[in-house]
Amino acid sequence: MSRGADSESGDRAAGRATGRQRSTAHDLERYAGLFAQRTKVMRSSAMRDLMALIERDDVISLAGGLPDTSTFPPDSYASLMGDVASSSCARALQYGPTEGLALVRDCIGSVMAAEGMRVESDELLVTTGAQQAIDLVCKTLIDPGDVIVAEAPTYPGAIPTFCSYQADVVQIEIDRDGMRIDVLEETLEALERSGRRPKFIYTVPNFHNPAGVTLSLERRRRLVEIAAERELLVLEDNPYGLLRYEGEPLPPLRSLDQDFVIYAGTFSKILSPGARLGWTAAPAPILAKLQLGKQGSDLCSSSIAQYFVSAYFQAGPWDQYVRSLLEIYRRRRDVMLDALAEHFPREAEWTRPQGGLFIWATLPDYIDTTDLLARAISDRVAFVPGRAAFVDGRGGSSMRLNFSGVAEDEIREGIRRIGEVVREQVAIYGTLTGTSPAQRPSRPAQRADSVGTASPGTGVGGAGGAAGADARTTGSARPGAGAAGSTAAAGGRGELAPVVQLPAQRKRAG
């Protein structure tokens, strides 16, 4: 399997962490002739690799996208499953319809109403998480080489899916108001001139994973207008809409247009990712194809999980638990923002999300976060390196930080540890280049991989025009082209050189 050096060495590091056996070159050779073409561009999800580390007790992981399931009362879980056993045992243990059980589609109707839109039961397909919705949309729409437009950065878990369908992913820069619609329009124009029409535009409009930003109302309106004008589909992936800690809710894209927007939702962040239940709402002809695709994938989603969800919704107001989560996550977000202000160097920038689970931090561009991760892990803290959110190697100095799955004191300690490693690198760079951090001019704020400048606690700034051309011309990459840089194994404190990139090295790498 030909994959970027990045992910291979990442796999090796993860393999060592778990003691898992990795395939040798000889093993791979034996099977190579049997692999389908698409496996050549398959990429590992950085997050899946990091799961091995998340499980290590001694590592504070700010890498996961984990909701805090420890807040769900075990008694309630026992009682709900008891209800399922006593009232629906045989049906819960049985196969169900591909489109999902009617009682779960009713629950989805309540969640969608809370999001601000009405859906009819026959507009819905219950899926095995929103992840399956993304997969089915690709399965339905993407032939090798087809264009998918996505945000830059984009949801790291979507990248392996896009890659396995051999899509050509074009990433559009974002700023504090989400996807830059002006850049999108220019990109669509450029694609049209070269005879290419994207199959869909993928967006996470609320509390973006990984960037934490939210698509403004004005941009939502314009996005659906563009989709209708050009007859392009939009895949609206909305796991976080109900996790709003401040500000006014914004309408889902699908409430603004039903003809061109496919919606993906999930119970993962409002109840349980372990249930592995999500859904999609789509125009009827597309829904029919998605359903056929699902038949081939898994016949139906788990009936046990569907009965559990339905029992939960029947037991009382389902949003009470969500409200309890909001309180906890809002506090954790604030703790992380305070810790970043205290421990990250002056040159660092980060977003200030109004909801969701993630903060996106960008360090001076001579620090490579993929390599920094190895250093951080040796200091028992983990994050997702920014490159995981790009198909073309951008994002090298950024990182995704999760605040929902970690207790407040661990967030403080985790950020302190990352801050220490970062400051060490800043000092080394200063020594090697003869510039003290104080003398050095700030890094250019408007790089294409930046969501803008962020002063601690003030929210991200808007991206300037300078970044636009870069994003337009370099934002497209065949998946599997491989990310620049290398993932060092979790090394000792002596291995400093690879983390900091001197100006000459950056030039060579760039």
Ligand X SMILES: Cc1ncc(COP(=O)(O)O)c(C=O)c1O
Residues that bind ligand X (CB under 6 A): 65, 129-131, 155, 157, 204, 209, 237, 239, 266, 268, 273, 278
> Minimal distance in Å, beta carbon 278 to ligand X?
4
Q: Is 297 exposed, middle or buried (0-12, 13-18, 19+ CB in 10 A)?
A: middle
CA-nearest of 133, 198, 163, 199 to 37 is 163
CA-to-CA distance for 472 and 487, rounded, in angstroms? 27
Of 267 and 366, which CB lies nearer to ligand X in the complex structure?
267
Nearest to 464 by CA among 454, 455, 453, 456: 453
Q: Distances from the Cα of 497 to the Cαs of 131, 424, 485, 494, in angstroms?
A: 38, 12, 13, 9
Token pair in block for residue 248 = 């006014």
CB 275 → ligand X: shortest distance, Å?
Answer: 9
Residues 23 and 30: their CA atoms lie apart, in Å, by 11
Place of tokens 């996208």: 65
Closest approach of ligand X to the CB of residue 488, in Å: 26
Q: Tell me how far, at minimum, the Cβ of 430 lies from ligand X, in Å.
A: 37
Nearer to ligand X (CB atom), residue 161 or residue 446? 161
**What is the closest distance, in whole angstroms, from the C-beta atom of residue 267 to ligand X in the complex?**
7
Cβ closest to ligand X, residue 227 vs residue 384 = 384
Of 131 and 351, the one with the shorter C-beta distance to ligand X is 131
CB of 497 to ligand X, least distance (A): 34
Query: Which residue number is nearest to ligand X in terms of Cβ?
Result: 129
- For the chain, give the number of residues: 510
CA distance 171 to 390: 8
Closer residue to ligand X (CB): 160 or 485: 160
Query: Hey, what are 170's tokens?
Result: 């074009």
C-alpha span between 205 and 425 (Å, rounded):
34
Which lies closer to ligand X via its Cβ, residue 72 or residue 344? 72
Residue 198 vs 265, nearer CB to ligand X: 265
Shortest distance (Å) from residue 340 CB to ligand X: 21
Within 10 A of 50 (CB to CB), how many other CB atoms are there? 26
